Amino acid sequence: MLSLDSSPYALPGADAESASVLPPPRSLRDTGLPQQFVVDLIGKALYVAGKTHLPTLTTRLHLPITVLREALDFMVTEHVAEVAWRGESDIDIQYQLTVAGKQRAAASMERCRYTGPAPVTLEAYRAMVERQALQAPPLGAEELGADFADQLLSPRVLQMLGAAMYAGRTILLYGPSGSGKSTLARKLGALQQGLIAVPHAVLVGQDVVQVYDPLDHPAPHGPQARQSRLAAERRSADTRWVQCERPVVALDADITADMLDLQADIPNGCYRAAPQLKANNGLLIVDDLGRQRMAACELLNRFSQAQELRRSQLSLAGGYHFEAPCRMRLLFATSLAPDTLLDAPSLRRVGYKIPVGPLGAASYRALFRQQCLAFGVLYDDAALHYLMDELHAGSALPLLAAYPQEILARIVDFAGFNGTSPRLTIAALDQAWTSMFTSEGAGMVGAAGDDPMAQLVDQLAQRSAYPGV
């Protein structure tokens, strides 16, 4: 097995391009995988597919032809595989299992049904995560200001967000529901720069842990897609690794304690990675902190401790424990008052507590105009004044960032139903407003009223009402 010193993934001084496009292994030894594991993987692939072309095996198992040839030559020598057909070229060749090979492959399938891309070693994965964490480009004030210009945040909040992201410290966004915390969190995740390499899977002992998830590890786009394509054209790559953008993994109120560990995927014969594993070299967001079926302190401390130690304790079936790398940024968002949700030690673990409250009047107007353009709704200044001076002021509802989108979406809905063009009018606003609230002007479902939790949220809105936030 490869050591950190001998692994090609631990070489110092590599640039970001080489960190996400890796050279392919030239031999079985270069893969770092036990020979028997590779032989079993090939055997199971042949057992499932039958007679198979060598290039097809390469595509299926993500191993170069040179590596497969070495393993297949061994299998032929051991009389568990044979050449079924040979064409004119060296790679135009088909393999199949012998009777003995089918028996061994069937036994191997009983132990583990995994037949996906060949994994990388845990040591190689640790080295790669560390290397890519060190190469994460810092986020500057100019970039943050430009990218958040449409968020209408106050300079004070922008400074806190920038400093927290620059330092990689834990962030807690708190404020009333609808103030835009979730949108803000995902926007921060999208600002992460640089491409990374994520393995399809990692070998832990004799078990396979799937890490790559297309939902959490998006393909490069924009300028980064061109960078990725050029890098791949200049060199062949180890296709056991997937080049992608830095991940943004979001967890909500449905998260439970057992979901923070590996999940057995019995039909596919492997484990699915824990959220903190998927979030390596990226951002992990825990939304609605305090709504989960586990204590907020426990959840925050578990992730914070893993981040501080740069490793996460995970376990396989049978009680086998191991340490996985943990190099991620952490962001929590809550609609509850932080000092009622977390104890003092947990609060100290949070690097930056950032209030996200109602918008100021000017910012709310600007956001509403932006949303009118986005929804294709014909804007009217008098109608917007009616919304703020009559509807909002009359119901004492705060100017939350979620309202413009919610109101305009309903105006578009009603216009579409009636076959008319959506326009911002007093009548359209009254119609949308009534559809959003339990009674005219009385407040939205979940807003302050008879619900004690809603009253707490409303109190927090008043405590966190920083102008321009």
Per-domain boundaries in the chain: 34-118, 121-355, 361-463
Give 266's contacts (C-beta < 8 A, 6+ positions apart).
Answer: none
CB atoms within 10 A of CB 126: 22
**Which of 272, 222, 270, 218 shows the shortest CA–CA distance to 247?**
218
Q: Which CATH number fits domain 121-355: 3.90.1300.10, 3.40.50.300, 3.40.30.10, 3.40.50.150?
A: 3.40.50.300
CB atoms within 10 A of CB 5: 8
**Which of 124, 123, 106 shows the shortest CA–CA distance to 115?**
106
Q: For 312-317, what is the mean pLDDT?
A: 92
Q: Which CATH number fits domain 34-118: 1.10.10.10, 1.10.260.40, 2.30.110.10, 3.20.20.20?
A: 1.10.10.10
SS3 96: strand
86 residue type, one letter: R
DSSP lists the bridge partners of residue 94 as 53, 85
In this predicted structure, what is the pLDDT of residue 127?
95
In this predicted structure, what is the pLDDT of residue 130?
95
Q: What are phi and psi of 443, to 5 degrees?
A: 120, 150
Burial of 94: CB neighbours in 10 Å, binned 0-12, 13-18, 19+: middle
Question: For 361, what's the count of Cα atoms within 13 Å in the CB-facing half-sphere?
Answer: 8
Q: How far apart are CA 185 and CA 285, in angstroms?
A: 7
How far apart, in Å, are the Cα atoms of 62 and each of 19, 54, 73, 120?
Answer: 18, 12, 18, 11
**For residue 456, pLDDT beyond 60:** no
In this predicted structure, what is the pLDDT of residue 223?
61
Looking only at the bridges linking them, the beta strands covering 270-272 and 207-210 are: parallel
In this predicted structure, what is the pLDDT of residue 425?
97
pTM over 0.85? The answer is no
Give 16's contacts (C-beta < 8 A, 6+ positions apart).
Answer: 135, 137, 194, 195
Q: For 306-310, what is the mean pLDDT?
A: 94
**For residue 378, pLDDT beyond 70:** yes
In this predicted structure, what is the pLDDT of residue 50?
96
Q: How far apart are CA 374 and CA 355, in angstroms?
A: 27
Residues 109-122: tens digit of each pLDDT = 999 999 999 999 99
Q: Can you say whether residue 50 is alpha, beta or left, with left for phi > 0 and alpha for psi between -120 and 50 degrees?
A: left
Residues 199-248: tens digit of each pLDDT = 999 999 999 999 999 999 999 986 655 555 555 555 589 999 999 999 99
Q: Can you say whether residue 214 is alpha, beta or left, with left for phi > 0 and alpha for psi between -120 and 50 degrees?
A: alpha
Q: How far apart are CA 215 and CA 194, in angstroms?
A: 18
**Which of 387, 397, 298 shows the shortest CA–CA distance to 345?**
298
54-61 vs 65-77: helix axis angle to the nearest 10? 110
In this predicted structure, what is the pLDDT of residue 19?
56
Q: How far apart are CA 105 and CA 43, in angstroms?
A: 5
**For residue 18, pLDDT beyond 90:** no
65-77 vs 35-49: helix axis angle to the nearest 10? 90
In this predicted structure, what is the pLDDT of residue 369?
95
How far apart, in Å, are the Cα atoms of 272 and each of 239, 298, 348?
Answer: 19, 23, 32
Q: What are phi and psi of 229, to 5 degrees?
A: -65, -45
In this predicted structure, what is the pLDDT of residue 374?
95
Q: What are phi and psi of 8, to 5 degrees?
A: -65, -15
Alpha helices of 310-445 — where are they, by DSSP H? Answer: 338-341, 344-349, 361-375, 381-386, 393-395, 402-418, 426-436
Over the chain, what is the mean pLDDT?
87
Give 434's contacts (C-beta < 8 A, 6+ positions apart).
Answer: 440
Max CA distance (Å), the chain: 85
CATH class of 361-463: mainly alpha
CA 83 to the chain's CA centroid: 43
453 residue type, one letter: M
**Which of 259, 270, 224, 264 shows the shortest CA–CA distance to 243?**
224
Residues 125-184: tens digit of each pLDDT = 999 999 999 887 777 777 777 777 766 788 888 899 999 988 889 999 999 999 999 999
